[in-house]
Structure 1
Amino acid sequence: MATATKEKTVKITAKNKVAKKDLSAGYNRYKKFGKAQYTGMQIGRGHHWHYDEGDWKETKITPDLWEISYAVTKRRVGHAPENSGVPVGTEYQWYIISHQHAKKLNANDYSTEMTGLKFKLAHKRADKAAWSAKAPTQRKHLVQFLKDFIAQLEKEPIPLEFEYEGKAYQGEGIPISATCADDVCY
């Protein structure tokens, strides 16, 4: 009888001592994508953000080319799990290629939608003074990214036809070769 009570006590004690799960462990774990090793969010996962009222400025510099700047605070939909993600103060340098579709609604308003890609050039950890790549290396990586992107654009597009909620859609797609493995592109 004493043995059964002792075993039961040990089991209860072990249950009570279960450590809280480290939610940042998966984020910080090294992962592989092709030949590249990385940390951070797993490929295929995503974030959803709301943007505060932003400041978009644009200046026409040729008949078809505009310089833009945009500044805003973005806020996560929901809340980040405790101890997940990078520390406060971490910074990033991104390069964005985007398609903007704007439609004039009236004399003063446009609806606008943007879709595109963003490419990480460098990051700076919160406890470091230096970026993960110096400016010449960032430029070299950006040039290679743009060359790869141009090569993809020059390939023959893939026709797309599908139905969604009773409506037929047609278009074409250009796979991003870096996301393809075994003839499947994500």
Structure 2
Amino acid sequence: MKTATRKTTAKKKAAAATPPRKKAVKKDLSKTYNEFKEFEGRQYTGMKIGRSHKWNYDAGVWKETKITPDLWELSYAVTKRRAGHAPEGSGVPVGTEYHWYIMAHQNVRKLNANDYTTSMAGLKLKLAHKRADKEKWSLSGKTQRKHLIEFLQEIIAQLEKEPAPLDLTYNEKHYLGEAIPIGQTCHDGFCEEYDIILNDASMGIIRRMKKGWKIDGMEDKKFVNAIGSAIVQSLSK
């Protein structure tokens, strides 16, 4: 009986010495989405800078009309659907509208008489939004045009600067090209993203991650990291 009593007492002491486990606190994602954040002295709400959306597009209709030998006017209409689900309570009210300006590379390869592969990589700029309970847009058409001009001037200035030359060999194939910094991602001479051209072909936008590099849509991660290493080597010269 004494032995059993000692064991019971020892268990009680061990239990008392063990600190109680804290219950995991579920993060209120809707609150973090809507709270004010700061970027380069400017306040904003919504998704935190650096995070990503992923969408699935329905079978949409793309129409294009040739204007000059190299210039086409296009229109595209489709419903896009979130891959996954938005956190409950986050996001803007149903009925909110946005006006975006898209600047992108579109790479196309003919498969047969009627089918082509198509991929796009580029930038999109929010020019204005219209709240669900408002009749007016957040910015006038004139101000939207002003912001678009400023954006295009920034892009032109970036293109006129000397890019980082790239010279690398991967899987016994030699690549020459350039990495054009995305100026809006550059801070103190350090850039997070570059527009990549290799052997005269657009490869997309490469993004520096916490571990390695990433190009959306490119499955060969070793090749992507080889490009990233070539950028680092080029900038260190």
TM-score class, shorter-chain normalisation, is 0.7 to 0.9
- Runs of 4+ in structure 1 deviating by more than 6 angstroms, as ranges, are 162-169
Shift of 1:23: 2.1
| In 2, Cα distance between equivalents of 1:38 and 1:67 | 33
Q: How does 1:87-102 map to 2 (within 5 A)?
A: 87-102=93-108
| In 1, Cα distance between equivalents of 2:107 and 2:162 | 23
| In 1, Cα distance between equivalents of 2:156 and 2:60 | 31
Counterpart secondary structure, 1:141:
helix
Counterpart among 173, 176, 180 of residue 179 in structure 2: 173
Counterpart among 150, 153, 168 of residue 144 in structure 1: 150
| In 1, Cα distance between equivalents of 2:173 and 2:51 | 28
1:153 matches 2:159 = yes
1:135 matches 2:141 = yes
| In 1, Cα distance between equivalents of 2:148 and 2:176 | 32
Shift of 1:35: 2.7
1:104-141 C-alpha deviation (Å, 9 max, x unpaired): 11111111111110000001111222111010000000
Counterpart secondary structure, 2:181:
coil
Counterpart secondary structure, 2:74:
strand
TM-score after normalising by structure 2 = 0.66
| In 1, Cα distance between equivalents of 2:175 and 2:66 | 34
Counterpart secondary structure, 1:174:
strand
1:56-89 C-alpha deviation (Å, 9 max, x unpaired): 0000011110001000000111111111111111
* Structure with higher RCO (Cα < 8 A, 6+ apart): 1
| In 2, Cα distance between equivalents of 1:130 and 1:144 | 23
Mark the CA change 1:170 to 1:52 in structure 2 (over 3 Å): closer, same or farther. farther
Counterpart secondary structure, 2:94:
coil
Give structure 2 stretches of 5+ with no counterpart.
1-22, 193-237
Mark the CA change 1:107 to 1:92 in structure 2 (over 3 Å): closer, same or farther. same
Q: Specify the alignment match of 2:114 in structure 1.
A: 108
Shift of 1:168: 7.9
| In 1, Cα distance between equivalents of 2:82 and 2:25 | 27
Q: Specify the alignment match of 2:48 in structure 1.
A: 42
Q: Specify the alignment match of 2:191 in structure 1.
A: 185
The residue type equivalent to 1:109 in the other structure is: D
> Is the CA contact 1:49–1:75 (under 8 Å) kept in the aligned structure 2?
yes
Identity of aligned residues (%): 68
Shift of 1:163: 8.3
| In 2, Cα distance between equivalents of 1:159 and 1:43 | 28
Name which one, 1 or 2, has greater alpha-carbon Rg.
2
Give structure 1 stretches of 5+ with no counterpart.
1-14
The residue type equivalent to 1:120 in the other structure is: K
Q: Specify the alignment match of 1:7 in structure 2.
A: none
1:76 matches 2:73 = no
TM-score after normalising by structure 1 = 0.83
Q: Specify the alignment match of 1:24 in structure 2.
A: 30
Q: How many residues align?
A: 170
1:19-51 C-alpha deviation (Å, 9 max, x unpaired): 975322111111111132211111110001110
| In 2, Cα distance between equivalents of 1:61 and 1:129 | 34
| In 2, Cα distance between equivalents of 1:168 and 1:145 | 35
Q: Specify the alignment match of 1:60 in structure 2.
A: 66
The residue type equivalent to 2:73 in the other structure is: E
| In 1, Cα distance between equivalents of 2:73 and 2:66 | 6
